[in-house]
Structure 1
């Protein structure tokens, strides 16, 4: 074993105070140092109250930037999960899943933590809807809900999803598939019969693969024979559009054409993919290849399909941030400070300039000792 001390990894603080960083920020730090040494003691702006106010301002600016992006999208879904923090306060994590059309990307963004006291389905639904309204979101654009499998969230009669759907019928509920998979695997691991059947399943998979090698040719043979027999007894083939018609009827107000126009558009969309070998595997891949002017209704349906929730992983991940920010030593953190710190931690990619924060700070309506803006 070597007697030498292990090389210590440079942390964030050491990085900040390294020679390179000091040189880069010298032009900023020297005037700041001079100001703090010469200013009045009641105009230093370094008190805990001022620090908390600045954190809240940055959090509000990040939140407003996200809200602007969501508002530009025609549709969005809500993801919400509830947990208990270190102070035994029930925290409701609210995230939004939406399609950012400018970049053609699907996003899931954390918005806020909300403390809840009534954990019934009605209480949680009321908090959820009121919070979304307070944030400035148009709930008529709500097209999906994603929660875990708790009865208060997923109940068909008194659950949050049922209560929200009463006011907004197009907000379809999706049970988090990650939770469903976890439950299935947990139950399967306890069942000896399933464990014993794994070998048999592998054998069946091999046999199925052999059958699938010639599946396409066999399918077309059967398909042609069924069509021939159907013609003898005057049975018409079920057109593919009939499978889409239910969705077209349900989202009728979201689409830009009449039923017969949408049917023709759907046929053109199908013919587009009949002439190529590789097809998109996801709604987002299809959106990347969908001409908005050529297929306006298909584009809208694909957007709705893409924003429907799949899992609540984004909301669950926010709990990791919650536990880092509000721990045993900081268990009295105020709710506004908690949300501000969480937004700063989670949305590091959102660029908020110092000038924007300074404008909000100086125009907050509070008296300031010095004039911060011209």
Structure 2
């Protein structure tokens, strides 16, 4: 009946309200003062102010990176073990505290770390050891305040009088100015309980003597003092649990650093040799676990560090995840070093080229060319590969946007780009919408230099297709290669007769292949003829016999021999210098004809050209012949030889126009003799020309004067890079700053995109059809470590190994 009043009650009972109130008080007590560390209480008009930071346990210990600085407005405090000595020295002074600055009428309170009134309610092991390291300081000789009963604390309580009259120091007793109370140092740290001396402080000065006597004879006090003495001994000897743990952690870090150093070297070995890391199994000492794990097993047999790691460590750190982290971190370090060098050089050039990979994605190779200003020794001009970038939009606009994005990500300014070089694709070299045109719109000083190697290849390709006779000649060479390369037995017959130079297949992208193919037949035509005869006697297939007979007839003609001589001499001169083509046009036919007839006589071949019947058109009696009668040699000269040479000269004029313009502008700086021979008027003209294109980089009036003075000290016969090296070796860089800047910019300009082309060889080795799904980051990291081997060899990865060791030692 008594509980019927609760029926329909919509509010809490008194008991439930008490429970909630108690919980709320406990929460308030737990978080009391936590906001004071973020705010500062100020009182104006000359009254005393306090900047109090609640010294909670986590603020003092876990957040060890919080810095304490003294400023004109506020101060904070840092408690770390490294500063314990500083705190102890401060405490031994008259104030034994850290003062917080005051300004004007504003005064800050003094926070004394040796005052237990500031200690957090809950004491942790780390805080306990920190306080003991700092030591306890008893406040003596202080003008203790009096309470409402006109009583106060006295220094006499710091000593205990024994029955025989001897005095014994109570070194465990502390007075708190903050709370005007006394505490037991040991019990406050080790045995906090409801006793006032162990928690909030005792300030009943009337009964203090009795309370101290009772406390110092209690069992709890004995236990806390024993713990205090033991901990002090361990701290002095460095045998605390934390110290032992710290030493163990440091030893573990040192050991893991050695392990990761070996893993890094193994990764470098794998990446330099373009080897696949993984197999079908990811476990040690099992079959088919891949080259990387097999290499680690092999190293473990002879290296004691790796042997101990593989035997006793629970974690091997050899998983694919750790492999990727190491590979990417190493590449990131190399990439950072390259970008740093480019930024130091300031001026750079961009080299780009594209190719499809095994996964049928278009890959853009990005290479930077720069001058290493810190190392003006041999090879101070560098071309560094940066990355492969998968591109979908291969138009000039799409590639330009990709370049700008990469430069922005790396913190490089397009305004410092002084050169660009690409292949001869329309999307790259187009004068309206090509990459070079779009970049020139954004930076007119990024001079475009077409790739010289691509130009030569295109010139030779156009020459080889300039007439039907030329097309037939190279078709015969390819057939000669194919007939022997068709089977192992045929190739064996070829090697029995041709011992030195073997035939080479023709390539559309490498003009050197044409040289090698022509050279092999030019100097071993008799051997090839004998090999064809031997092959004809061994084969039984009618189709092969017919092909062999056709090839024999073609290579046994004066026309083929003449073409062989002409093309060898043309390609030979391309290897030396292209300007000799003009002289070869005038004199090359007669000398080539004489050489081919001599070779035909040695091979017992008719040295005369076949006189093919010329088709005659019916004409009226009053009409004359349209064409004059000519010999077979003249027709071969006009219809074949002159066409080839004229095509070459025209191609050279068109495709090397950029080089011609560049030479007219900067030619004297590529030859010290020419620079020294400039007249005053030519020198002034040169200065004005450079001012029009490099006015923002160079003080041209000073440049002319520097050129005039440098000509007196420059040796003869020096090229561009040799001149720059001469200034560096003789400590003349500071004397000719503008001239040096000009030489650096010219040295930065690219000639070919061969470095970008060479990177494709690594791409094919790394991203094979078996590894076509490799991730972008891993692929680029392995490519960078493989392509830039020379640069990687000069990088110290010890800091990377240590960082990985520290991170892994923290993981559980």
Mapped to 2, the partners of 1:362 and 1:138 lie a distance apart of 36
| CA apart distance, 1:26 | 1.6
Alpha-carbon displacement from aligned partner over 1:86-144 (angstroms, at most 9, x marks no partner) = 10111111010000112121000000011111111111110111012212223221111
Alpha-carbon displacement from aligned partner over 1:181-227 (angstroms, at most 9, x marks no partner) = 1111222234469966969728759xxxxxxxxxxxxxxxxxxxxxx
- Say whether residues 1:280 and 2:718 are aligned partners: yes
> Hey, what does 1:221 align to over in structure 2?
none
Of residues 406, 418, 422, the one that matches 1:147 is 422
Mapped to 2, the partners of 1:22 and 1:361 lie a distance apart of 20
Of residues 86, 109, 114, the one that matches 2:389 is 114
Mapped to 2, the partners of 1:369 and 1:101 lie a distance apart of 39
2:706 partner SS: helix
Mapped to 2, the partners of 1:163 and 1:35 lie a distance apart of 61
| CA apart distance, 1:253 | 1.5
For the 8 Å contact 1:81–1:94, the answer to whether it is kept is yes
For the 8 Å contact 2:429–2:437, the answer to whether it is kept is yes
Q: How does 1:80-95 map to 2 (within 5 A)?
A: 80-95=352-367
> Hey, what does 2:311 align to over in structure 1?
34
2:713 partner SS: helix
For the 8 Å contact 2:300–2:310, the answer to whether it is kept is no
Mapped to 2, the partners of 1:140 and 1:202 lie a distance apart of 45
2:341 partner SS: helix
For the 8 Å contact 1:58–1:352, the answer to whether it is kept is no
Judging changes above 3 Å, is the alpha-carbon distance between structure 1 residues 35 and 123 closer, same or farther for their aligned structure 2 residues? farther
For the 8 Å contact 2:354–2:365, the answer to whether it is kept is yes
Of residues 110, 122, 127, the one that matches 2:402 is 127
For the 8 Å contact 2:702–2:738, the answer to whether it is kept is no
Mapped to 1, the partners of 2:327 and 2:680 lie a distance apart of 63
For the 8 Å contact 1:81–1:147, the answer to whether it is kept is yes
Of residues 448, 453, 461, the one that matches 1:173 is 448
Q: CA RMSD in A?
A: 3.1
2:351 partner SS: strand
- Say whether residues 1:371 and 2:810 are aligned partners: yes
Structure 2: segments with no counterpart, 5+ residues: 1-272, 276-290, 471-562, 571-582, 589-678
- Greater RCO, CA 8 A, separation 6+: 1
Mapped to 2, the partners of 1:87 and 1:313 lie a distance apart of 23
> Hey, what does 2:765 align to over in structure 1?
324
Mapped to 1, the partners of 2:324 and 2:299 lie a distance apart of 26
Judging changes above 3 Å, is the alpha-carbon distance between structure 1 residues 113 and 267 closer, same or farther for their aligned structure 2 residues? same
Mapped to 2, the partners of 1:315 and 1:356 lie a distance apart of 31
Of residues 343, 347, 355, the one that matches 2:788 is 347
> Hey, what does 2:692 align to over in structure 1?
249
1:370 partner SS: helix
| CA apart distance, 1:355 | 3.0
Mapped to 2, the partners of 1:358 and 1:369 lie a distance apart of 11
Judging changes above 3 Å, is the alpha-carbon distance between structure 1 residues 323 and 360 closer, same or farther for their aligned structure 2 residues? farther
> Hey, what does 2:369 align to over in structure 1?
97
Mapped to 2, the partners of 1:57 and 1:360 lie a distance apart of 11
Given the two structures, how large is their TM-score scaled by the length of structure 1?
0.75
For the 8 Å contact 2:388–2:780, the answer to whether it is kept is yes
> Hey, what does 1:213 align to over in structure 2?
none
Alpha-carbon displacement from aligned partner over 1:314-367 (angstroms, at most 9, x marks no partner) = 01111111110111111100111100110111122324434332355478xxxx
- Say whether residues 1:201 and 2:638 are aligned partners: no
Between structures 1 and 2, the one with greater strand share: 1
> Hey, what does 2:197 align to over in structure 1?
none
Judging changes above 3 Å, is the alpha-carbon distance between structure 1 residues 57 and 298 closer, same or farther for their aligned structure 2 residues? same
Larger Cα-atom Rg:
2
For the 8 Å contact 1:97–1:307, the answer to whether it is kept is yes
Given the two structures, how large is their TM-score scaled by the length of structure 2?
0.36
> Hey, what does 2:61 align to over in structure 1?
none
- Say whether residues 1:289 and 2:726 are aligned partners: yes
> Hey, what does 2:703 align to over in structure 1?
262
For the 8 Å contact 1:57–1:361, the answer to whether it is kept is no
Mapped to 1, the partners of 2:802 and 2:431 lie a distance apart of 47
> Hey, what does 1:315 align to over in structure 2?
756
For the 8 Å contact 2:369–2:748, the answer to whether it is kept is yes
> Hey, what does 2:29 align to over in structure 1?
none
Mapped to 1, the partners of 2:403 and 2:805 lie a distance apart of 32
1:289 partner SS: helix
> Hey, what does 2:24 align to over in structure 1?
none
Q: How does 1:217-228 map to 2 (within 5 A)?
A: none
Judging changes above 3 Å, is the alpha-carbon distance between structure 1 residues 129 and 119 closer, same or farther for their aligned structure 2 residues? same
- Say whether residues 1:44 and 2:44 are aligned partners: no
